[in-house]
Amino acid sequence: MKNTMNRWIGSFLLGIATWVHSSAQTTELLAKATTETSTPKNSGQKPQVVIVTGARFSYTLVQKWIDDYNKTNPNVQIIIEARGSNDPQKYDVLAEVFEPDAETQKKREYLYIARYAILPVANAQSGFAQAYADKGLNQDLIKQIYFHDIFADKDKQKEIKYPYTVYTRLQKAGAPTVFTNYFGYAQKDIKGKAIAGSDEHLLKAVLRDSLAVSYLPLNLIYDPNTQKTLKGLTVLPVDLNDNGKVSVEEKFYTDLSTVIQNLESKTDKNRQNLPIGYLHLSVDKQTANPEALRFLQWVAENGLKDLHHYGYLQPEAGKIDKEKIVQLAEKLSKSQN
């Protein structure tokens, strides 16, 4: 009887030991499975970071490209770092909206991706806006309203019955450079109040002053969701064929899609007195971030479909040269190996 009891106790203890070992194995397997499920396969890898800076009014479009790019490239962190009075000390991609000088062009590779139009605008509450939304502006009137010109013939200037105040940018920037250069002036020649900050700050100043007149990129004038002009803002039609007057056919500013369709369909001869600039993305030829180059290649292949919605015109045929970006990527890859 005593031997039987000892055998029973031994079997019982052996069973407990087996159960404990099995449970420990099960716990270890569950812990491992949980870790593999909750931890990304690339954990421990340093995320690839690309910094973008440049013209603020381009950020909405560029952010759309970043969001779409991240859907297929989640391990890349692309950050827009807003410029202040100067560009950030370190960045990979520069989004700019005016033509760089020759010396700068030697150092950077450019992807010309979109065009933008610059239109004269006024606060919708003013008598000036109501009058000239109907009359429109020819070239002589544009120069008379916007620019200091000591050589202008004062006797030929038109009488303007409605009070107005011109607003412009204080710092040198893309849109005012394109606007003034088109009419043969420099940014310093623009009349009126100079506003510090970005084009968005200029827009806010125009909306605050019922007498305000200014110029703005097309994508800031229209709401991309409603496709209508921002509340409180009026577009002033211009003499596109430069015959000295604005016809009914030249007044097509009721909605964004109609504006873009008209501007893209017209030849240069029938699209005068309306400055158009380029949005381009660029990288340093010597130190370009490989992931920044891949992002630019993706934009060249996938970004055009977003242009109209965000208020940009398609680039001219042959303007996009993505092969230069590909060649630069190959060149830098070889130099690093």
What confidence score (pLDDT) does residue 314 get? 97
Q: Clarify whether residues 262 and 282 are in a common domain.
A: no
**Does residue 21 belong to any structural domain of this protein?**
no
Which DSSP string corresponds to 24-66? Answer: HHHHHHHHHHHHHHHS-TTTTSPPEEEEEEE-GGGHHHHHHHH
Per-residue pLDDT, 44: 53
User: What's the rounded mean pLDDT across residues 38-48?
Assistant: 52
What CA–CA distance (Å, rounded) separates 203 from 231?
12
Indicate the residue among 258, 277, 296 that finishes a domain: 277
Mean pLDDT of 65-78: 96
Instruction: Domain count for the chain, please give it.
Output: 2
Domain's final residue, options 246, 261, 277:
277
310 band by pLDDT with thresholds 50, 70 and 90: very high
Say if 81 falls within a structural domain: yes
Same domain membership, residue 250 and residue 137: yes
How far apart are the C-alpha atoms of 217 and 278, rounded to whole Å?
A: 11
Residue 144, both tokens: 């008379």
Query: Does a structural domain hold residue 17?
Result: no
> What was the pLDDT predicted at 29?
32
Please tell me whether residues 122 and 85 are part of one structural domain.
no
Q: What percent of the chain has pLDDT over 90?
A: 74
Nearest-10 Cα torsion for 38, 44, 47, 48: -140
In this structure, the answer to whether residues 273 and 283 fall within a common structural domain is no
Measured CA distances, 272 to 244, 266, 310 (Å): 11, 10, 23
Query: pLDDT at position 152, please?
Result: 79
Listed range (12-16, 140-144, 271-275) with the worst mean pLDDT: 12-16
Owning domain of residue 223? 116-277
Out of 253, 277, 301, a domain closes at: 277
**Res 85: pLDDT:** 63
Mean pLDDT of 259-282: 96
Shared domain for 57 and 205, answered yes or no, is: no
Residue 237 and residue 201 share a domain: yes
Asked if residue 182 is part of any domain, the answer here is: yes
Comparing C-alpha atoms, which of 190, 164, 165, 167 is closest to residue 177?
Answer: 190
Same domain, 131 and 258: yes
> Domain containing 235 — which CATH number?
3.40.190.10
62 and 196 fall within a common domain: no
Averaged pLDDT for residues 167-172? 96
3-state helix, strand, coil in the chain (%, to 5): 45, 20, 35
Q: Given a cut of 50, is residue 84 above it in pLDDT?
A: yes
In the chain, the amino acid numbered 227 is Q
Mean pLDDT of 23-36: 36
Please give the pLDDT value at position 312: 98
- The pLDDT-based confidence of 22 (bands split at 50, 70, 90) is very low
- Which pLDDT band holds residue 320 (cuts at 50, 70, 90)? confident
Which pLDDT belongs to residue 25? 42
What lies within 8 Å, CB to CB, of 1 at 6+ separation is: none
Question: Do 148 and 297 reside in the same domain of the chain?
Answer: no
**64 Cα distance to chain centroid:** 9
Q: Assess if residue 20 is contained within a domain.
A: no
Whether 139 is covered by a domain: the verdict is yes
Query: Band of the pLDDT at 2, cuts 50, 70, 90?
Result: very low
Residue 176 is predicted with a pLDDT of 97
Note whether residue 28 is domain-resident: no
pLDDT interval class at 190 (50, 70, 90): very high
pLDDT given at position 260: 98
Residue 144 clears pLDDT 70, i.e. is over it? yes
Residues 110 and 163 in one domain: no
Summarize the confidence of residues 42-63 as an average pLDDT: 85
- From 109, 41, 54, 45, select the one nearest 77 (Cα to Cα): 45
Which band of pLDDT confidence, cut at 50, 70 and 90, is reported for residue 45? Answer: low
Instruction: Give dist(CA 251, CA 232) in Å, integer.
Output: 18
Give 119-131 pLDDT, tens digit per residue.
999 999 999 999 9
In a domain, residue 102? The reply is: yes
Residues 320 and 189 in one domain: no
**Average pLDDT of the segment spanning 188-204:** 96
Q: What is the mean pLDDT of residues 221-242?
A: 97
**What's the whole-number average pLDDT of the chain?**
87
Question: What radius of gyration do the chain's Cα atoms show?
Answer: 30
Separation between Cα atoms, residue 173 and residue 198, nearest integer Å: 8
**pLDDT given at position 39:** 34
190 plus 178 within the same structural domain: yes
